[in-house]
Structures are given as structure tokens and as C-alpha cells.
Amino acid sequence: MKKALFILNIILLITWMGVIFNFSNDTGTESGSKSEKVLIKIVETFKREKLTSEQKEKIINKYGLLIRKTAHMFVYFILSILAYLLLKQIYGLKPVTIIYTLIFCFIYACTDEIHQAFIPGRGPSFIDVLIDTCGSIISLIIPTLKLCYNKNRRWIYEL
């Protein structure tokens, strides 16, 4: 069972890395268009009505950047969870598992931005690497707290 779970975790991690690579492979225009469509669909769903072209443009100008950066955080939040689950099988619930997960996600974010340097209309951004890493850090808060706090409500490790 553990070997099957280990293989499943590897497959899920590699698949999600492929999803991120695929998103990064979009040109700047394609990426922007996808983000705008998602944003408009979200707003129209909550408002329960179709937006006019003027309303769409206003919303895109106001919230487009926020949606794009939130998407960065989200995909790396998921990547971090998948990497953590795999590394936890190897190292257990130890500080090194959390550190290796964070390093892995940071390095993957860096390579993702390097990849974007070769895509028309895209470019590398260290700010995006930091945003991606923040998504990874957020996903590691619960394992970190679990590691540091035992059942007797005593701190095991100092943060």
C-alpha cells in the first residue's frame, strides 16, 4: 500500500508540474485572455447577469492583476502540498521535510520564470517567484504547526 501511495504521489506531483509548465507555455496574450475570461465568469456567476463590455473592461482593469497573482499562489499552494506529501513519505514529519518542500517549490518557481523568458509576450519576474513561494509557504503552515506542537500542548521545536 505504501509503495502504491508513493507512486501515486510521484504521478500527481509530476502531473501538477506539467500543468504549471503548460500554463507558462501560453503566450502573454493567451495567458491574459484566460485570466480575463476566468475573472469575468466569476463576476457574472456572483452577479447572476451578463456584464456589458464597459463593465468587463472596468473589472479587468481593477481586478485582473489580483486574479493573475492569486492564480500564481494557488498553483504553487497545490504544488507544495503534493511535494510535501511525497517528501513526508521519505523523511516523515520532520523539519527537513518542510525545508526540502519549500526549496523544491522555490527552485521550480525559478525554472518556471526562466522558461517564460523564451515565450513570446512573457518574461521572467522575481516578484512572481516570491508570490509562488508565498503560496508554498501558506500550504506549509499546518504541517509546521503540527510539527512544533505535540498532543500535550507543548512546543516541541522553537520556530
Give the total number of structural domains in the chain: 1
How far are the Cα atoms of 129, 147, 148 from residue 142, in angstroms, in the given order?
22, 8, 10
Q: Is residue 156 part of a domain?
A: no
Tens-digit pLDDT profile for residues 49-83: 898 889 999 999 999 899 899 999 999 999 999 99
Q: Residue 138 belongs to what domain range?
A: 2-27+74-148
How far apart CA 137 and CA 159 sit, in angstroms, is 14
Q: Is residue 36 part of a domain?
A: no
Q: Is residue 112 part of a domain?
A: yes
Band of pLDDT at residue 148, cut at 50, 70 and 90: confident
Output the nine-digit C-alpha cell for 39: 475573472
pLDDT for res 21: 96
Identity of the highest mean pLDDT range in 6-10, 36-40, 139-143: 6-10
Output the nine-digit C-alpha cell for 33: 485572455
How far apart CA 109 and CA 22 sit, in angstroms, is 14
Q: Is residue 91 part of a domain?
A: yes
Tens-digit pLDDT profile for residues 101-139: 999 999 999 999 999 999 998 999 999 999 999 999 999
How far apart CA 79 and CA 75 sit, in angstroms, is 6
pLDDT for res 147: 74
How far apart CA 3 and CA 21 sit, in angstroms, is 27
- Answer whether 43's CB lies under 8 Å from 51's CB: yes
Residue 152 has pLDDT above 70, yes or no: no
